[in-house]
Amino acid sequence: MIDINAPKPEILVIDDDESICETLEVIIQSLGYYCVYFTDPDQGLEYFQRESSPLVLLDVNLPNMSGLDILAKFKEINPMTQVLMMTGEREIQTVVTSLYNRATDFLLKPFTLDSVKAAIARALEYFNILKEKEANEETILRDLRLASKVQSKIFQITQSLPHKISAKVDPAMYVSGDYYQVIPVSDENTLLLMGDIEDHGVTSGLIGLLMNSLVKEIAKPGEIDPSVYLKKMNPELVHEIGTHSMTCVVLVVNNKTKSISYSRGGHPFPILYPSKRSEYKLLSERSGHLLGIMDDIEFNTNSISYEPGDLIVIYSDGLVNSLQSPVLESLNQIHLNSNNRFDEMIDCLTDYTNSLRENSVFQDDISYLLCEL
């Protein structure tokens, strides 16, 4: 919306014919705008570099220089500046070229008061639209950065835990649809959860926040059956959200019995790396379907024992979307050969995440959680 109380913008005129400049000055001032003119294009360009006028009336044919060349310089300095090219009626090809080079419009000489008035009105209206769009985009960008900061705070593991844990969520665009939870359910049990909301961005991030809150409520009474978490999240997505599906995996680690119970809802397989350096194990027992699609879905709970020093990796399909992924081979080599598996695996996952981000073709939320049992 244009503020009618805002000061009138200044209009810059560049034409080697001083009589044309003076005529335009009179017309522009009569319309209520300020006007500055130059017959020397170099001086006009120097002035524009300082003032960056919102609207320029520029002659096509200037001595020792083409107006089209100056047009390009104006657009390089300030792409939002509106440039009206002034030319004779016989130079239609020049008119076409000027529009191709991002001129806003053109004025044919000799021009009339009405034609100048209409051209200026159109150009300034479009300039104001661009300014408003820029302001809105800056507001959105600021809010996205704040949302990203808030989300990163939520993802921090602040509680003292009996396990060494490192986790990261790397959003594709500021706010992630991936999320994780690490909650001590009791003195003996620790909940590890990772979810991946369909799509990415603010909406997916908010749904992830809702799921995080629901998980905390379920965990309060000390629930240790992983399938219960999936069973309670699913109807929330189906009935209350209704627009997004989700994959999720829930693990409960029992420190006393040295066992892991787990349940999956369409999520990639967690990987267990034994401390004895034997072959890694995929937790690939039967999985339930995606959450948020159908109401009546059964989720099974499976169990596996572990030894102290075992490592378990949970990840989203943004990191690994195939068992042939090169990062799995790299992790396996670290598992078999390293004396510092935990730290080297974190370095490996970080490097691989960075390599994915450098690939402009691949853009998805990326998350992983590494736990030393």
Q: Which residues contact 112 (CB under 8 A, 6 or more apart)?
A: none
DSSP β-ladder status, 271-273 and 259-265: unpaired
The pLDDT of residue 354 is above 90: no
Give the domain-ending residue among 81, 112, 140. Answer: 140
Higher pLDDT, 274 or 3: 274
Stretch (H or E) spanning 34: strand 34-38
Using the structure block, give the residue that is written with the tokens 């997505």: 237
Same domain, yes or no: 183 and 272: yes
The pLDDT of residue 238 is above 50: yes
Q: Where residue 87 falls among pLDDT bands split at 50, 70, 90?
A: confident
Residue 3 lies in a domain: no
Same domain, yes or no: 239 and 97: no
Same domain, yes or no: 107 and 184: no
Same domain, yes or no: 169 and 79: no
Beta bridge partners of 281: 272
Same domain, yes or no: 243 and 365: yes
Share of residues in the chain with pLDDT > 90 (%): 43
* Residue of 116, 135, 141 lying closest to 2 (CA atoms): 135
CA 356 to CA 199: how far, in whole Å?
17
Same domain, yes or no: 244 and 109: no
Give the model's pLDDT for residue 2. 43
The pLDDT of residue 144 is above 70: no
Same domain, yes or no: 127 and 268: no
Beta bridge partners of 169: 367
Q: How many domains does the chain have?
A: 2
The pLDDT of residue 7 is above 70: no
- CATH number for 106: 3.40.50.2300
Give the domain-ending residue among 116, 140, 164. Answer: 140
Give the model's pLDDT for residue 67. 83
Helices (H) and strands (E) in the chain, counts: 9, 17
Mean pLDDT of the chain: 86
Q: Where residue 13 falls among pLDDT bands split at 50, 70, 90?
A: very high
Residue 213 lies in a domain: yes
Residue 79 lies in a domain: yes
Q: What is the pLDDT of residues 160-198, one digit of tens each?
A: 788 899 999 888 778 888 889 999 999 899 999 999 998
- CATH number for 247: 3.60.40.10
Q: What is the pLDDT of residues 273-311, one digit of tens each?
A: 999 988 999 998 877 788 999 888 889 999 999 999 999
The pLDDT of residue 342 is above 90: yes
pLDDT mean over 69-76: 88
Give the model's pLDDT for residue 112. 84
The pLDDT of residue 312 is above 80: yes
Amino acid at 209: L
Same domain, yes or no: 97 and 169: no
Q: Which residues contact 177 (CB under 8 A, 6 or more apart)?
A: 196, 197, 198, 199, 200, 201, 204, 205, 207, 208, 244, 365
Share of residues in the chain with pLDDT > 70 (%): 92
Q: Note down the domain range covering 35.
A: 10-140
Give the model's pLDDT for residue 159. 67
Residue 150 lies in a domain: no
Give the model's pLDDT for residue 57. 94
Q: What is the pLDDT of residues 96-114, one digit of tens each?
A: 666 666 677 788 888 888 8
Helix (H, G, I), strand (E, B) or coil at 259: strand
Spatial contact of 297 and 234, defined as CB atoms under 8 Å apart = yes
Same domain, yes or no: 102 and 181: no
Residue 146 lies in a domain: no
Rounded to two decimals, what is the model's pTM? 0.71
Same domain, yes or no: 121 and 161: no
Residue 320 lies in a domain: yes
- The dihedral region occupied by 222, where left means phi > 0, alpha psi between -120 and 50, and beta the remainder, is left
- The dihedral region occupied by 41, where left means phi > 0, alpha psi between -120 and 50, and beta the remainder, is alpha
Helix locations, 18-110, DSSP H: 18-30, 41-51, 67-77, 92-100
Q: Where residue 237 falls among pLDDT bands split at 50, 70, 90?
A: very high
Give the domain-ending residue among 108, 140, 172. Answer: 140
Residue 21 lies in a domain: yes
Residue 4 lies in a domain: no
Same domain, yes or no: 31 and 180: no
Same domain, yes or no: 169 and 135: no
